[in-house]
Amino acid sequence: MTSTRATLLQVAERAGVSLASTSRALHGTGASPAMVERVRAAAAELGYSADAIGRSLRLKKTFQVAFAVADIGNPVYVEMMRAIHEVLAPHGYRVVVMSTGDTARSTTELVRSLNSGFVDGMIVSPLRTDDRLIEEIQQAPVPVVVIGRALDDRGISSVSTDSAGGIGAAVRHLHSLGRRRVGFLNGPLDTTPGAARQRGFDAATETTVFDRTDQEVAADFTVTAGLEAARRLLARGRLDALVAANDLLAIGAIRAVRETGLSVPGDVAITGMDDTELGQVFQPSLTSVSLGSTERGRAAARIMLRLADDPDHAAQQVAVGPELRVRESTGGAQ
């Protein structure tokens, strides 16, 4: 039987350009927008589809990058995933989303599995880290970029943010509104975000005078855990402000406040963190600290591209600053 499948050479001839230019245009590497449009139009006319397996064998690459996180349903990670895809896709890479689990050990095992060669690199945002995980990342056979902790002292490429400073901004915002009885709703303290956000709250309340402060640790960073922890917090005494360590906890806290017959923000002003789309459309819309989820995803993807082209490139670190977004849950913009 004779195959009628269009070839790359036929696409090049139809577009009137060289074979090399055709390949670059189809894979988004080093071709002008006009060239890309011309070549892809020719490919569409001929019904051409790339031979991904053959390309991978020739170049000894999978053209896949893993994005590994503890909770693939968390809106923060969804925003990061979109941003990573936007950067990598034009260069011919697919994003493979994976779950790390919530322990440092499970993340370590996933990083160790990179030896099987199923991806060309990994962008990982670990919930918990330890020395063994750091060692596995350092020894990984493909590039690994960490979103979370700054790891410049360990020779690992990373994209970090100042979530402690972000919590401080939320505390000062509430104080500026005249709120003097503030509670803090955090996630597990043995996690990277939980530890950082606890430091931020402690530092802010040491330098800002409140009549009363209290805090409660939720089982995890979810709406349900936030609801349960906020109920415990509110049962211990009256608060007029509540700082939550992420938007999901804040949404649970709003439900808990309403259960007591109080209003948000009239009786209790509430802030979140991460500035998710869910928090923006929630009622009331959520005052939240943006940690630049999209910016962090893009930065990690750009680092990955550099390392994929040159594995010996020096480790890179990028820091994205926090920004308070004031909305209805603290009496801001309607």
pLDDT for 54 equals: 52
* pLDDT higher than threshold 70 for residue 51: no
Average pLDDT over residues 245-261: 97
* pLDDT higher than threshold 50 for residue 135: yes
Lowest mean pLDDT among 38-47, 202-211, 287-296: 38-47
- The two tokens of residue 196 are 């950082």
Other CB atoms within 10 Å distance of the CB of residue 276: 24
Rounded Cα–Cα distance for residues 195 and 206 (Å): 17
* pLDDT higher than threshold 50 for residue 3: no
Q: What is the pLDDT of residues 61-120, one digit of tens each?
A: 778 999 999 988 899 999 999 999 999 998 888 999 999 888 899 999 999 998 888 899
* pLDDT higher than threshold 70 for residue 53: no
- The two tokens of residue 146 are 């960490």
| Greatest mean pLDDT among 35-44, 90-99, 241-250 | 241-250
Q: What is the mean pLDDT of the chain?
A: 89
Rounded Cα–Cα distance for residues 267 and 240 (Å): 6
Burial class (CB in 10 A: 0-12, 13-18, 19+), 20: exposed
* pLDDT higher than threshold 60 for residue 2: no
pLDDT for 241 equals: 98
Average pLDDT over residues 217-244: 97
**Which has more confidence, 27 or 115?**
115
* pLDDT higher than threshold 60 for residue 52: no
pLDDT for 334 equals: 53
Q: What is the pLDDT of residues 294-333, one digit of tens each?
A: 999 999 999 999 998 887 888 899 999 999 999 999 997 6
